[in-house]
Structure 1
Amino acid sequence: MDHWFAQLERYGLEPTNFACWVDTRIQIDRNMSVEEGAVQIAQDLRLAHRLGFKFIRPKFGVIDRTLTPDPIWEGAVERSLDLAQQLDMMILPEIHAPTPIRHPVTEGYVNFIERTGTKNFGLMIDTGIFQDRPLDAWGGGDFEAIKKGAPEMVYGTKVPVDHLDDIIQYVPFIQAKFHRIDENLHDHQIPWDRIVPKLKALGYTGYLSSEYEGARDPWVAIEQVRRQHALVRKLEAEYEAANGGLVDA
């Protein structure tokens, strides 16, 4: 713990999202129970809190290709809300391709928030859902096999950016996925020129966390993340210049 906090101080870092799993098929002969799922979430909440994180992203086991979570998710999360409130933490499942925003999975999470009235559960959006052009490479993997096995991950889910209007009030954290930004700060798959203005117009004040998933060649990721930060800042400055620095209420 001392080493962890010393490293944060040395590099000027702020813990944000703690990625964790509720592995509902950890035993092959049966699914995890609601009670067991709650114990796993409680363990992750306590550990993330000790490390200084604000959010946990529990990835639940899924039951189909559209990433419908195992039905235990709702009971397990509901049993964890009191602890999350005590620790001032948020539980954020991820909306990830191929699941769009307007989908029963997302609607189920929103219905849960509205039913419980909780402030300790929300949504994490992975910007891969907005991918609107196909990948032209896949770092270090068998690209043809991926196209055959998971074509939606190659050609894009193409969720309209305007669908953020439906759920932005529940989103404190965005996983800013991308694959390739060229030297002219042009992203070849993710429409940042629409995403950033939309977030500004909606008054978004949460986090964006770079998630690079392009080529794995040495040093490439460092330059790609630098380009993404430059691109986002450029688009933000352009929006503010065009709108007098104001955002919609």
Structure 2
Amino acid sequence: MDKERIQLSASLYSLSSYYIKEIFSLEDCLREIRDYGFKGIEIVAAQMVPEYPNPSDKWLGEFKELLDKYELKPICYSAYIDYGIRSDRDLTEEEIIQFTLNDMIYAKKAGFPLVRTQHSISPAIYEKMIPHCERLDIKLAIEMHHPHHPRVDVWEKYIELMHTKGKGYLGVVPDFSIFQVRPHKLLVERLLKAGFRKEQLDRVLELHENKVPLNETLKLDLNALEKEFTESIYEKFNPTPIEELSTLIPVTPYIHGKFYYLENGEADECIPYDRILPEIKRLGYEGYIAAEYEGHHFNMDIDVPGQLRRYVSICSKYI
């Protein structure tokens, strides 16, 4: 990959466990990300932006100064559509538009060229955001996360909008979770701790990897808990074909490089980076791939700085 075309950024969400435990402040997160070798950042606004959804001009100014201090580019402002903000009803269409527009305005003030939103925004609302994108000169992209893929009906509508009325302003953020092929080490450890017998789990994973149908695998001697976990494995690790990247890359301004656990010097066993990254290169992608570590969902005591450094090292084989 041409280093000028494709570069690495990091989602500050990767450092959630350190931020939540107050080991790192926001400034510490930025400094660490820079030191690991990343060039840009994504911030999950609801997590790390004080007074979200309406940060003060004072904070915005201080944040810009920190980015300048650590020579980091603001790449993506991750927004949040909080359907449950009211206890009596869901948000109306007009409220969703206003919340999304509010995020776009503050993202622009903070220097971000892109807002990442969620698929809970409907195609009809998404289309109505186009004039706001044009006026603010900012992109609005929806994250495609597991279990979604390009052939889901609603995604076909989104992608059509990205290619037509919203061209240049609407886009997709593919999350590598859509390509996950097998449980990672931390999940396997959790399943064993929860009571999945090792010999039975090993057999389930072998059959899953060999694409034996779920109904056949469930014929194993499994207890109720093991059957439930087995169904979850088949559902969660049912990857989108990597060839589908050809549908996504033309409307992709930004990518989430999801990962859960990296052994020292080894590629991710869960997500086939060795196949994904060369395909992204071949398709001519230009932009940032953001490291998004989510191992903290399974073990809050993992050495996250070590994981992020390994991520840079592994990706450097391809970029």
State TM-score, norm by structure 2: 0.64
Identity %: 27
Match of 2:69 among 3, 7, 10: 10
Secondary structure at the aligned position of 1:98 is classed as: coil
1:88 corresponds, among 122, 133, 137, to 137
In the alignment of these two chains, the number of paired residues is 225
Equivalent-residue separation in structure 2 for 1:14 and 1:149 (angstroms) = 42
The alignment partner of 2:249 has SS state of helix
1:192 has 2:241 as partner: no
Cα distance between partner residues in 2 of 1:174 and 1:223: 22
Deviations 1:131-182 (A, max 9, x none): 111133249978759x749925984231111110112100111010001111
Residues 181 and 224, structure 1, Cα contact 8 Å, conserved in 2 = yes
Larger relative contact order (Cα-Cα within 8 Å, sequence gap ≥ 6): 2
The SS at the match of 1:122 is: strand
Give the 3-state SS of the residue equivalent to 1:124 in structure 2.
strand
Residue correspondence of structure 1 range 56-67 to structure 2 within 5 A:
56-60=115-119
Q: 2:316 aligns with which of 233, 237, 240?
A: 233
Over 3 Å counting, the alpha-carbon distance change for 1:112 and 1:89 in structure 2 is same
Q: Which residue of 1 aligns with 2:303?
A: 220
1:158 maps to a residue whose letter is P
**SS of match in other structure, 1:83:** helix
Is it true that 1:157 corresponds to 2:238 in the alignment? yes
Runs of at least 5 residues in structure 2 that lack an aligned partner in the other structure: 1-59, 195-224
C-alpha distance in 1 between matches for 2:133 and 2:126: 10
Match of 1:239 in 2: none
Equivalent in the alignment of 1:124: 173
Segments of structure 1 that go 5 or more residues without pairing to the other structure are: 61-68, 237-249
Counterpart residue type for residue 118 of structure 1? K
How far the C-alpha of 1:121 sits from its partner, in A, is: 0.6
Moved more, 32-41 or 211-220: 211-220
1:75 corresponds to 2:124: yes
Q: How big is each residue's C-alpha offset from its partner over 1:8-45, in whole Å with a ceiling of 9 and x where there is no partner?
A: 11111111111111223432332222211111111000
Alpha-carbon separation, structure 2, partners of 1:217 and 1:45: 32
SS in 2 for 1:227: helix
**Aligned-partner Cα distance in 2 for 1:15–1:57:** 13
Task: Please tell me whether Structure 1 or Structure 2 has the larger radius of gyration of its CA atoms.
Answer: 2
The whole-number CA distance in structure 2 between the counterparts of 1:104 and 1:153 is 22
1:12–1:218 CA distance, 2 compared to 1 (3 A): farther
Mapped contact 2:181–2:239 kept (Cα < 8 A): yes
State the distance in 2 between where 1:119 and 1:36 align.
25
Which has more helix, going by share of residues? 2
